[in-house]
């Protein structure tokens, strides 16, 4: 079976090369039959890569430890779901998964645009195949998942997957992130194809926007789940550490989100074509770059990068080539992309979107610079300097405030030029909501409240005010106009203009997430050493250390502490933080115990069991952190409302 996978990858590379040639020929000579060949090559490559992926899955499920990859990332003792998840536990397998998902997107595009008259399509197929071809070269010649161990090294068991990854969230988080990363190859190919073919009409724009929304959704959810996993498993009390790996997933999200906003200006006012093409190019370049960062070892040290040899250089070469080619063609076509329209007023929706784009780009610059600074400094000056989370928080905070403010302004302000009267009418209620919240917070907390929570909560109220006002007005208008009931009017609204009203729900989710993040300003933490029977009081809670027991599990040992939790005198239950040691992998792990409410989380880590029988505990009180996950669910709901296909609307007739 593993031989089958090996040869499937070889054959896929061959088919991809043929398909690229056919696509280029079809694009160059405008030959429809060559385009069809290229499209079929996309389908065939997908079938072959699927075969390879299934082959590796079968090898993992059947414990085929002849394969180096299976031996290094799986073990007999692991449950089947985690053996299958080991597909993305290591380098070669995760590249195969990356390739497979990108082929899935490519084949979806091929099916969807089978009868499309777009002139750029042969180029699109060639570009998608070139993207797959690069990963096929890596998987065939640089890091193969089907590499066999020399017979003398074959053992009867593997060394297992990192136990921290053996968590339900980790079976889906990487898949979602990859779906985000790879999915952006489709809008990239459509934009690049449009540039190459010179077909700058509006059809490619609709195609790109739709194909951006889907990976953007996956990437967003993937990032959120990653935070959730870090919170539940890594046991340091937080969910986001501005770690280079996290930043690598966050960076493409920024231009993609900026694009989803500014593309509306292009649709309504035929402006910012060039800029939108820049954003699409940036998004996919950063996806490739992020994969390079996390896969090459360059982040831990420039020297480990050069030691890693071929892989990093080939990958960096590809990132530079793809981005370079795209932006070179964009530069050559710049004159035909000029817009006839100009920005008419600073008080307009266009201007608010332009500012929104600048803010997203500002955050991108900060994150990019902070992530790469240690590498650059080591390469240039030979000194390694680390950049802490404080830098990122301090720099992105003001920009996040600006974005939250614009979230409220953008939907209400008029296109072209807003009149003072319309501004008053639109913003009276939301501004009152924001100001009222600010006043209430100042009254309740006095000057003790910190600046960021005050600003975030007030602006959050302002945005929620704008959203409710928009929904309220539209529902009332429908009820008056067509005599529908409120619920029915709401449903019609969501169906007739799903982008707008679904988008508002997405915004609501973002507001919740930002409120949850701002809650961190009230975080408290304590480190205590308790003997059995001793208590500690923290902010109305009382924790009593009862006992510690050994953890007799099959794959790991360690201890679980039992803590009685009281609020006042009312018992709330028993918390059981664990300290584990995974035998096979020799890896320790602290599993926190979390008592979660809408108001706050109590997050308890068993730091150490001391030799005198006492326990050292780290207790975090994390107010409002649950709102991040609630915001996540709201976000998903909103995104689904936007993406939900409505049968009565044909692709040709895009909604206004």
Partner 1 sequence: MSKGVQIAIGAAFVALLLGWYATTNLERLGSFTYFQTLEEFRAEGRPGERVRVHGYVADGSIQRDLVGRQVRFAVQNDPPHAGQGAEPVLPVVYSSLETPDLFQDGAEVVVEGRLESAGASALFRADNVLAKCPSKFEAKRMEAASF
Q: Is 380 in the site for partner 1 (CB under 8 A)?
A: no
Of these, 142, 320, 395, 551, which contacts partner 1 (CB under 8 A)?
395
Q: Is 354 in the site for partner 1 (CB under 8 A)?
A: yes
Q: Is 171 in the site for partner 1 (CB under 8 A)?
A: no
Place of tokens 């069991």: 609
List the Cα angle 239/242/245 in 5-degree steps: 95
Taking the C-alpha atoms of residue 504 and residue 483, their distance in angstroms, rounded to an integer, is 24
Residue 527 CB, nearest distance to partner 1 (Å)? 5
Place of tokens 């689904």: 640
Q: How many CB atoms lie within 10 A of CB 654?
A: 14
Q: How many CB atoms lie within 10 A of CB 41?
A: 27
Taking the C-alpha atoms of residue 354 and residue 272, their distance in angstroms, rounded to an integer, is 9
Q: What is the 3-state secondary structure (H, E, C) of 554-568?
A: CCEEEEEEEEEEEEC
Q: Is 344 in the site for partner 1 (CB under 8 A)?
A: yes
Q: Is 384 in the site for partner 1 (CB under 8 A)?
A: yes
Q: Is 523 in the site for partner 1 (CB under 8 A)?
A: no
Taking the C-alpha atoms of residue 186 and residue 171, their distance in angstroms, rounded to an integer, is 25
Strands 524-530 vs 615-623: parallel, antiparallel or unpaired: antiparallel
Q: Is 611 in the site for partner 1 (CB under 8 A)?
A: yes
x-or-dash string of contact with partner 1, 291-330, rule CB under 8 A: ---xx-x---------------------------------
**Is the Cα torsion angle 409, 415, 419, 424 positive or negative in sign?**
negative
Q: Is 90 in the site for partner 1 (CB under 8 A)?
A: yes
x-or-dash string of contact with partner 1, 614-653, rule CB under 8 A: x-x-x-----------------------------------
- CB nearer partner 1, residue 224 or residue 505: 224
Q: Is 91 in the site for partner 1 (CB under 8 A)?
A: yes
The CA radius of gyration of the chain, in Å to the nearest whole number, is 27
Q: What is the 3-state secondary structure (H, E, C) of 152-164?
A: HHCCCCCCCCCHH
- CB nearer partner 1, residue 294 or residue 498: 294
- CB nearer partner 1, residue 68 or residue 478: 68
Of these, 343, 560, 572, 636, which contacts partner 1 (CB under 8 A)?
343
Q: Is 342 in the site for partner 1 (CB under 8 A)?
A: yes
Q: Is 583 in the site for partner 1 (CB under 8 A)?
A: no
Q: Is 21 in the site for partner 1 (CB under 8 A)?
A: no
Of these, 470, 578, 585, 600, which contacts partner 1 (CB under 8 A)?
585
Q: Is 245 in the site for partner 1 (CB under 8 A)?
A: yes
Place of tokens 């953007």: 216
Residue 54 CB, nearest distance to partner 1 (Å)? 22
Q: Is 374 in the site for partner 1 (CB under 8 A)?
A: yes
Residue 321 CB, nearest distance to partner 1 (Å)? 23
Q: Is 394 in the site for partner 1 (CB under 8 A)?
A: yes
Q: Is 588 in the site for partner 1 (CB under 8 A)?
A: yes
Q: Is 388 in the site for partner 1 (CB under 8 A)?
A: yes
Question: What secondary structure letter does DSSP report for 233?
Answer: I
- CB nearer partner 1, residue 527 or residue 537: 527
Taking the C-alpha atoms of residue 589 and residue 578, their distance in angstroms, rounded to an integer, is 8
Burial code (b: 16+ CB inside 10 Å, e: under 16) for 395-411 equals bbbebbbbbbbbbbbbb
Q: Is 414 in the site for partner 1 (CB under 8 A)?
A: no
Taking the C-alpha atoms of residue 179 and residue 594, their distance in angstroms, rounded to an integer, is 30
Candidates 380-388, 457-465, 489-497, 594-602: pick the segment binding partner 1 (CB under 8 A).
380-388
Q: Is 94 in the site for partner 1 (CB under 8 A)?
A: yes
Taking the C-alpha atoms of residue 83 and residue 75, their distance in angstroms, rounded to an integer, is 7
Q: How many CB atoms lie within 10 A of CB 150?
A: 8
Q: Is 113 in the site for partner 1 (CB under 8 A)?
A: no
Taking the C-alpha atoms of residue 418 and residue 352, their distance in angstroms, rounded to an integer, is 11
Strands 600-609 vs 615-623: parallel, antiparallel or unpaired: antiparallel
Residue 88 CB, nearest distance to partner 1 (Å)? 8
- CB nearer partner 1, residue 442 or residue 584: 584
**Is the Cα torsion angle 72, 77, 83, 85 positive or negative in sign?**
negative
Taking the C-alpha atoms of residue 337 and residue 567, their distance in angstroms, rounded to an integer, is 64
Taking the C-alpha atoms of residue 81 and residue 612, their distance in angstroms, rounded to an integer, is 40
Residue 152 CB, nearest distance to partner 1 (Å)? 19
What are φ and ψ of residue 526, in 5° steps? -135, 145
CA nearest to 394, candidates 366, 358, 373, 372:
366
Place of tokens 């099916």: 111
Q: Is 385 in the site for partner 1 (CB under 8 A)?
A: yes
Using CB under 8 A as the binding criterion, the count of chain residues that bind partner 1 stands at 60
Cα 397–chain centre separation? 19
Place of tokens 């084949």: 107
Of these, 19, 27, 89, 187, which contacts partner 1 (CB under 8 A)?
89
Q: Say how many Å lie between the first and final Cα of the chain, rounded.
A: 51
Candidates 395-403, 468-476, 538-546, 635-643: pick the segment binding partner 1 (CB under 8 A).
395-403
- CB nearer partner 1, residue 159 or residue 422: 159
- CB nearer partner 1, residue 25 or residue 86: 86
Place of tokens 């409410």: 597
Residue 641 CB, nearest distance to partner 1 (Å)? 31
Of these, 386, 447, 554, 569, which contacts partner 1 (CB under 8 A)?
386
Burial code (b: 16+ CB inside 10 Å, e: under 16) for 287-308 equals bbbbbbbbbbbbbeebeebeee
Residue 182 CB, nearest distance to partner 1 (Å)? 14
Residue 26 CB, nearest distance to partner 1 (Å)? 36
Residue 131 CB, nearest distance to partner 1 (Å)? 19
Contacts to partner 1 by CB under 8 A: 72-73, 88-91, 94, 159, 162, 164-165, 174, 177, 235, 243, 245, 294-295, 297, 342-346, 351, 354-355, 358, 362, 374, 383-388, 390-391, 394-395, 398-399, 402, 527, 529, 579, 585-590, 607-608, 610-612, 614, 616, 618
């Amino acid at each position: 079976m593993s031989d089958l996978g090996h040869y499937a990858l070889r054959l896929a590379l061959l088919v991809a090369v043929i398909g690229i040639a056919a696509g280029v020929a079809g694009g160059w000579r405008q030959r429809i039959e060559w385009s069809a060949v290229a499209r079929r090559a996309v389908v065939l490559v997908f079938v072959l890569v699927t075969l390879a992926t299934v082959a590796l899955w079968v090898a993992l499920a059947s414990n085929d430890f002849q394969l180096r990859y299976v031996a290094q990332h799986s073990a007999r003792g692991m449950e089947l779901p985690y053996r299958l998840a080991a597909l993305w536990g290591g380098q070669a397998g995760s590249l195969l998964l990356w390739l497979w998902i990108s082929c899935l997107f490519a084949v979806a595009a091929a099916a969807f645009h089978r009868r499309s008259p777009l002139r750029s399509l042969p180029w699109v197929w060639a570009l998608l195949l070139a993207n797959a071809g690069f990963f096929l070269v890596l998987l065939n010649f640089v890091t193969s998942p089907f590499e066999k161990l020399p017979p003398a090294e074959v053992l009867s068991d593997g060394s297992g997957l990192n136990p921290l990854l053996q968590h339900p969230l980790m079976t889906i988080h990487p898949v979602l992130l990859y779906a985000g990363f790879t999915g952006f190859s489709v809008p990239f190919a459509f934009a690049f194809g449009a540039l190459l073919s010179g077909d700058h009409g509006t059809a490619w724009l609709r195609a790109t926007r739709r194909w951006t929304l889907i990976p953007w959704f996956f990437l967003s959810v993937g990032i959120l789940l990653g935070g959730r996993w870090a919170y539940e498993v890594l046991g340091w009390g937080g969910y986001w550490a501005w770690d280079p790996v996290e930043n690598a997933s966050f960076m493409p999200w920024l231009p993609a989100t900026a694009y989803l906003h500014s593309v509306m200006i292009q649709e309504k006012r035929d402006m910012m074509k060039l800029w939108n093409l820049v954003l699409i190019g940036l998004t996919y370049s950063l996806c490739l770059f992020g994969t390079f960062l996390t896969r090459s070892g360059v982040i831990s040290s420039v020297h480990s990068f050069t030691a890693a040899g071929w892989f990093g250089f080939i990958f960096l070469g590809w990132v530079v080539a793809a981005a370079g080619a795209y932006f070179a063609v964009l530069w050559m076509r710049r004159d035909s992309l000029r817009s006839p329209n100009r920005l008419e007023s600073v008080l307009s929706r266009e201007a608010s979107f332009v500012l929104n784009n600048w803010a997203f780009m500002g955050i991108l610059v900060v994150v990019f610079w902070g992530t790469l600074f240690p590498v650059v400094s080591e390469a240039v000056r030979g000194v390694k300097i680390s950049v802490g989370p404080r830098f990122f928080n301090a720099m992105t905070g003001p920009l996040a405030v600006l974005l939250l403010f614009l979230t409220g302004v953008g939907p209400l302000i008029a296109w072209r030029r807003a009149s003072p009267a319309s501004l008053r009418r639109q913003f009276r209620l939301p501004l009152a909501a924001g100001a009222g919240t600010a006043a209430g917070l100042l009254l309740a907390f006095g000057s003790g409240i910190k600046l960021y929570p005050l600003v975030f909560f007030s602006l959050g109220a302002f945005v929620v005010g704008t959203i409710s006002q928009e929904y309220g007005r539209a529902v009332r208008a429908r009820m008056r106009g067509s005599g529908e009931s409120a619920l029915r009017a709401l449903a019609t609204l969501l169906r007739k203009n799903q982008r707008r009203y679904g988008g508002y729900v997405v915004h609501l989710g973002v507001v919740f997430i930002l409120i949850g993040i701002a809650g961190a300003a009230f975080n408290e933490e304590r480190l205590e050493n308790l003997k059995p029977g001793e208590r500690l009081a923290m902010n109305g809670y009382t924790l009593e250390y009862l006992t510690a027991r050994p953890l007799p599990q099959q794959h790991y040992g360690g201890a679980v502490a039992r803590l009685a939790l009281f609020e006042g005198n009312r018992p709330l239950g028993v918390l059981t933080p664990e300290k584990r040691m995974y035998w096979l992998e020799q890896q320790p792990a602290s599993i926190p115990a979390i008592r979660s409410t809408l108001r706050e989380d109590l997050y308890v880590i068993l730091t150490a069991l001391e030799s005198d029988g006492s326990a050292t505990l780290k207790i975090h009180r994390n107010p409002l952190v649950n709102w991040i996950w609630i915001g996540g669910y709201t976000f998903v709901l909103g995104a689904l409302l936007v993406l939900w296909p409505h049968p009565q609307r044909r692709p040709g007739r895009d909604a206004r």
